Amino acid sequence: MEPVRTPAPPEKPRAVAPSTAPQPPTPSPGGHTGAVEGTATWALSDRIGLAICWALGLLFCAIAVAIVVYLLVQGIKFLRPEMLWTPAAAGFSESETGGFSDALFGTLIVAVMGISLALPAGVAVAVWLVEYGRPAPLARITEMTIEAIAGIPSIVLALFGTVIFSSTALGFLSRTSEGVVFGRSFFAASAMLSLVALPLIVASVREGLNSIPRHVREASYAVGKTKAATTRRILLPTCRPQVATGAMLGLGRIIGDTAIIVVLLGATQNFAPVEGVGFPFNYLRGAGTTLTNFVYEASPTGNLNQPQKAYAAAFVLLLMVLALNAAVDVVHRRARKVGTWSH
Amino acid sequence: MEEQYPTEYGPKWSDQRVERMLGALVLTVVGLLLALIVTVFVRAWPSFSHNGLAWFGAGGNVDDQLNAIFLSGQNGLEYVYTFHAWPLIWSTLLITGGAVLISLFSALFVAVFIVEFAPDWMSNVLQPVIRFLASVPSVIYGLIGVVVLVPFIGNHLVTEPQKASVAGIISLTGYSLVAAVLVLTVMIAPLMVSIFSDGLRAVKPGWLEGSLALGINRWRTTWKIGVRSARPAIIAGTVLAVARAIGEAVMLAMISGSVGFAPNPADGLIFIYEPSRPLAPTIVKNIDQLSSPPANATLFAIAAVLLFSAATFSLTGYMARRAMRKYGAA
C-alpha cells in the first residue's frame, strides 16, 4: 500500500486501546483520549467518507428520537389513565371499547413466567459450559444448540409450541374440551418465550464467568471448597451484573415478541379463564393477550383497527422497553465502577 | 472444617451430582432443539412430498392455492396440497437482500465511526441509541411503518400514472417492498453495528500503530487494517442479521402488503412500490388455518424452509465468530 504522499505532517499518535497501562477514570469506548489527528491533510475521498460516517450516525440518532417523540406525542394524546385498568370490550367506536388492562397484565404475567423459566436454565447452561464442559463434543454441540436457538425465527418456535402443547399429555397446561387440547395458554406462550430469552442469558452469563481469572477459582479450591460451592458462593455473585444484564435483555425480547403470543396465547383481547380450576391456574391455563398482541390487532392492519388505542398501548410498551434499557445501562455503569477482576 | 460449610454443600451437592444435574439440563435443551427440528420436518413432509421441487417453483396464485388447501381440509374432501411458494420466496429474497445490503453499508460506517472517529460525546450518545433501536419491539416498528411510512409512500411517492398502469393487477397503496426494506433495515442494522464494533475494537492496537507510524492517515488505517482484520466479525454480523431478517414475521405482516405477488424488477422502478408477502408473515396471516390438516402441513413446510435457512445462517455466523476467537479477537 502506497504511503500518503504529503510530506509527513506532524500527526499526533492515536492514543490506543484499553489494554495500555494507566487508564483515565472513565475510559471512552473508542479509547482515544486527548488530541486526535486533524483531517486537513486527508485526501478528499477520505473526508467524504468521514462525512458519510457523521451523516449515518446522526441519521440513526434522528430515527431513534423520531420514534420516541412520535410515540410520546401520540401516547400523551390518546392514553387515558383508565385504559390501564379497563379491560377491552366490544363496541363500535374507540370510546366504547374500553382499555387494555388485560393486555398489560398479560405482558406482566408472560414476562414473569418466561424469565423465571429462562433465567435458571440459562445460568445453569452457562455454568455447565464454562465450569464443567465435559465431554468436549457435548460442549461444542451445546454451543451450537444455543446459537441455533438464537437463530430460530420465533414464528417457528410458536408453531412447534402448537404441537407440543396440544398433545394430550400436556393437556393440564391449557384448556381441554371433549378430549381435544386447546394448546393455547399463558403456560404455553411463556414456555416458548423462555426459549427466546435463553440464548441471551447464556451468552451474557458466559461472558461474565469467562472474565473471572483462574486464580480466583484456584484460591477457592485451595481452601477446600467444592466446585459447586465455588460457583454458587464466588463465581455467580461476582458476575451478578452479567446475570442481571442477560435477564433484562431476555425480558426485553419476551415482552417485545409478538409471533409467539399471536399463535400460542389465543386470538382474544381478554383473559379467558378456564372454569373449574382454582386461582391462579384458571387464568394461566386460559387464553389471553399481551400489549404486543394488542398493538398488532389494534393497528390499522389488524382485526380491531383502533389506531388510537394502538398508539396508547405502543407507548406503554415503549416505556417498558426504555426502562429496561435504562436499567441495563445502570447495571453496566455500576459494574464498571465497582471494577472487575482484570487488575 | 465441617461446621464452616452448611449441609447444603455436603454429599447432596457434591460435584459429581451437580455436574450430572447440569448435564441433564443441557441434554434436555439439546434434545428440545432436536425435537423441534424433527417435528417441524415431519409435519412438513406431506406438503413437500406432494409437490416435490415444484414447491419452490412458480405457478398459479399462491393465495388461491393456500385457500384451496385450507378448504379441502375443512370440508372433508380429498386433501389438496398443491402449493408453489415462489412469490413468497422471491419476496423474502428481495426484502431480506435489500435490507441487508443497505444495513451492511450503513452499519459498517456507523461502527467505524463509533470505534474510531466519533468524539466521546457522540459515541456516548450513539451506543445507547443503537441499543435502543435493537430493543424496540417489532410490532412498534410495524405500527410506525403502517401509520407513517406507508401513507407517505402511498400518497407522495407513488404517482397516479404508476397506480393506473398496474390498476388491473395490483393496487399500489404504499404497502410495498420499499417500506418493508426500509423498516427492516432499521431493525437489523443495530445488530450489525454492535457485532462490527466489537470486532473493530478487538483489532490489535500494534497493527494499527504500525500503519499510523508509516504516515498513513487514520481513515485509511482504519479501513485497510482495522476493517480488514475485523472481517470475521463483519461476516458474523451480516449472517446473523440475515437470519434475523428471514425470521421477521409480525412487522412484515403489517407493512409488506400481504399479497402473494412477486414484484418483477424487469417492470422498471415501479416494482419497489409493489406489495408482496414473504414466507414468515404468511404463517402469521394463516395461523387460524392450523386446524385443517393439509394447511397445517403447508404452514409447517414454510416453517421448515425458514428453520433451515435461519439455522444455516446463524451456524455460519457461529463458525465465523469461532474463527475470530482463534485470531485473538472477540
- Alpha helices (runs of H) in A96-185, residue ranges in sequence order: 101-127, 136-151, 154-165
pLDDT of residue B172: 84
Closest CA to A153 of B263, B247, B64: B247
Tens of pLDDT, residue by residue over B7-41, are: 455 566 788 889 999 999 999 999 999 999 999 99
Q: Are residues B166 and B140 both part of a single domain?
A: yes
B261 pLDDT exceeds 90? no
Establish if B6 belongs to a structural domain.
yes
Would you call B140 and A1 a contact, using CB atoms and an 8 Å cutoff?
no
pLDDT of residue A35: 52
Q: Are residues B125 and B225 both part of a single domain?
A: yes
pTM of full prediction above 0.80? yes
Share of chain B above pLDDT 70, in %: 95
Q: Are residues B126 and B263 both part of a single domain?
A: yes
Q: Are residues B29 and B119 both part of a single domain?
A: no
Would you call B123 and A328 a contact, using CB atoms and an 8 Å cutoff?
no
Please report residues of A whose CB lies closer than 8 A to that of B106.
56, 59
Establish if B294 belongs to a structural domain.
no
B211 pLDDT exceeds 50? yes
pLDDT of residue B170: 80
**Average pLDDT over chain A, rounded to whole?**
84
Tens of pLDDT, residue by residue over B223-233, are: 999 999 888 88
Query: CB–CB of B274/B51 below 8 Å?
Result: no
Tens of pLDDT, residue by residue over B277-301, are: 999 999 999 988 888 899 999 999 9
pLDDT of residue A338: 66
Residue A128 touches partner B, C-beta closer than 8 Å: yes
Q: Are residues B123 and B52 both part of a single domain?
A: no
Distance from CA of A158 to the nearest CA of B (A): 10
Range of the domain at B35: 2-74
Question: Can you list the domains of chain A with their CATH numbers?
Answer: 99-338 (1.10.3720.10)
Rg (CA), chain A: 26
Establish if B295 belongs to a structural domain.
no
Q: Are residues B117 and B200 both part of a single domain?
A: yes
- Among chain A residues, CA nearest to B127: A29
Please report residues of B whose CB lies closer than 8 A to that of A147.
314-315, 317-318
- Split at pLDDT 50, 70, 90, the class of B122 is very high
Domain-ending residue, one of B53, B74, B95:
B74
Query: CB–CB of B281/B91 below 8 Å?
Result: no
For residues B5 and B150, the model is more confident at B150
Please report residues of B whose CB lies closer than 8 A to that of A310.
143
User: Mind giving me the DSSP string for B49-80?
Assistant: HHHGGGGGS--S-HHHHHHHHHHHHHTTS---
Sole residue written with cell 390487532: A297
Domain-ending residue, one of B47, B74, B101:
B74
Q: Are residues B311 and B162 both part of a single domain?
A: yes
Establish if B296 belongs to a structural domain.
no
For residues A173 and A290, the model is more confident at A290
Q: Are residues B154 and B261 both part of a single domain?
A: yes
CA-CA-CA-CA torsion sign (A171, A172, A177, A183): negative
Share of chain A above pLDDT 90, in %: 52
pLDDT of residue A1: 42
B328 pLDDT exceeds 60? no
Q: Are residues B63 and B205 both part of a single domain?
A: no
Would you call B22 and A132 a contact, using CB atoms and an 8 Å cutoff?
yes
For residues B5 and B50, the model is more confident at B50
Tens of pLDDT, residue by residue over B88-119, are: 999 999 999 999 999 999 999 999 999 999 99
State the total domains in chain B: 2
Establish if B207 belongs to a structural domain.
yes
Domain-ending residue, one of B50, B74, B98:
B74
Contact residues for B119 (Cβ-Cβ < 8 A; gap 6+): none
Would you call A228 and B15 a contact, using CB atoms and an 8 Å cutoff?
yes
CATH number (domain holding residue B143): 1.10.3720.10
Q: Are residues B107 and B217 both part of a single domain?
A: yes
Instruction: Report the pLDDT averaged over residues B197-206.
Output: 90
Share of chain B above pLDDT 90, in %: 58
Distance from CA of B58 to the nearest CA of A (A): 24
Please report residues of A whose CB lies closer than 8 A to that of B112.
53
Q: Are residues B50 and B93 both part of a single domain?
A: no
The size of the A-B interface in CB pairs under 8 A is 290
Establish if B224 belongs to a structural domain.
yes
For residues A339 and A5, the model is more confident at A339
Query: CB–CB of B98/B183 below 8 Å?
Result: no
Q: Are residues B252 and B117 both part of a single domain?
A: yes
Establish if B17 belongs to a structural domain.
yes
A342 pLDDT exceeds 70? no
C-alpha cell at A231: 460457583
Establish if B297 belongs to a structural domain.
no
